[in-house]
């Protein structure tokens, strides 16, 4: 068997296509060993690479996302099970939760709606943040909803989180304190990394020729969804701040822009 330190060096060299080659190698090896990455790094010289690691490396060499190989992804304060058929949670989306926390200082949200919930990412993170809240996650994908329900059960949130198949907010008559949404916003034909284009579901990525199709649906739905004093936090692409702001303002909504930790436009903070 190969010593863990050498196995990491070898794998990282093969992952040169990735901006996080060493991290990818560490996450896969920790998963193969059944330990945390932190423990691996603290005790690296105590380990050898198990037989299953080589197969994981080969999958990553084919650009398969690390999260699909390990079946898990950390997001906000929770750990989510993820797999093909649902968008992989990304750190940029935590900007929406930061915006919501900044808003709800004097009172806490009681009802939360997550439009395009995927594996339950934003809804479950919000419910973990606000223990007395309940919420609804909506998605078009049965595969994503299956993952969301599995995650809710694993996080002991199944009694506070409901999930349903739907086309954004169509047919929803309730008002919510907090609406979260990470809709598709990539223009058809845009250049994407192989691991995104070849593995993640196209329906969760692409939104027409200009990437705005789903915002055009969501914007007119929001006024009827927001409770008094409510807030919507909507993720956008880094170059879409002005165009999506205009769409939401045309629907009579107040809009403020919030940037992610890299300083890129990432979240529209929307009020009725």
109 and 41: one domain?
no
33 and 153: one domain?
no
168 and 241: one domain?
yes
Residue 197: C-alpha distances to residues 31, 184, 189 (Å): 24, 13, 10
Looking at the structure of the chain, the number of domains it has is: 2
Token pair 């004097």: residue: 106
Residue 72 lies in a domain: no
Phi, psi of 252, deg, nearest 5: 85, 20
Its domain, for residue 58, covers 4-62
* Tokens describing residue 77: 């304060």
pLDDT digits (tens, 9 = 90+) for 255-267: 999 999 999 999 9
Give the chain's count of helices (H) and strands (E). Answer: 11, 9
56 and 110: one domain?
no
pLDDT digits (tens, 9 = 90+) for 112-163: 999 999 999 999 999 999 999 999 999 999 999 999 999 999 999 999 999 9
Residue 68 lies in a domain: no
Residue 53 lies in a domain: yes
241: CATH: 3.40.50.150
Q: Is 116 left (phi over 0), alpha (psi -120 to 50) or beta?
A: left
Residue 69 lies in a domain: no
Residue 99: C-alpha distances to residues 105, 110, 201, 235 (Å): 11, 16, 27, 11
Task: Tell me how long the chain is.
Answer: 272
For residue 1, name the pLDDT band (cuts at 50, 70, 90): confident
113 and 185: one domain?
yes
Q: What percent of the chain has pLDDT over 70?
A: 100
201 and 98: one domain?
yes
What's the pTM?
A: 0.95
The span from the CA of 130 to the CA of 143, in Å, is 27
* Tokens describing residue 63: 């650009």
pLDDT digits (tens, 9 = 90+) for 30-52: 999 999 999 999 999 999 999 99
150 and 243: one domain?
yes
51 and 126: one domain?
no
On the question of pLDDT at 200 being above 90, the answer is yes
112 and 246: one domain?
yes
């Amino acid at each position: 068997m190969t010593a863990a330190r050498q196995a990491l060096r070898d794998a990282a060299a093969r992952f040169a296509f990735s901006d996080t080659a060493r991290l990818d190698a560490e996450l896969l090896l920790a998963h193969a060993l059944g330990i945390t990455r932190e423990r691996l790094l603290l005790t690296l010289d105590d380990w050898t690479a198990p037989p299953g690691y080589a197969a994981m490396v080969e999958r990553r060499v084919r650009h398969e996302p690390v999260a699909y190989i390990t079946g898990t992804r950390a997001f906000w304060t929770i750990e989510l099970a993820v797999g093909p058929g649902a968008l992989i949670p990304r750190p940029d989306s935590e900007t929406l939760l930061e915006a919501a926390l900044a808003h709800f200082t004097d009172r806490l949200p009681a009802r939360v709606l997550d439009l395009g919930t995927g594996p339950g990412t934003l809804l479950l993170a919000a419910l973990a943040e606000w223990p007395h809240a309940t919420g609804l996650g909506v998605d078009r994908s049965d595969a994503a909803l299956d993952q969301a329900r599995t995650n809710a059960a694993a996080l002991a949130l199944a009694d506070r989180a409901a999930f349903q198949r739907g086309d954004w907010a169509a047919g929803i008559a309730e008002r919510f304190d907090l609406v979260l949404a990470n809709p598709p916003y990539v223009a058809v034909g845009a250049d994407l990394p192989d691991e995104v284009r070849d593995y993640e579901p196209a329906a969760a990525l692409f939104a027409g020729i200009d990437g705005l199709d789903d915002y055009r649906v969501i914007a007119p739905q929001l006024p009827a969804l927001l409770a008094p004093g409510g807030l919507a936090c909507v993720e956008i692409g880094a170059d879409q701040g002005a165009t999506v702001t205009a769409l939401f303002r045309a629907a009579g909504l107040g809009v403020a822009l919030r940037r992610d930790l890299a300083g890129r436009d990432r979240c529209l903070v929307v009020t009725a």
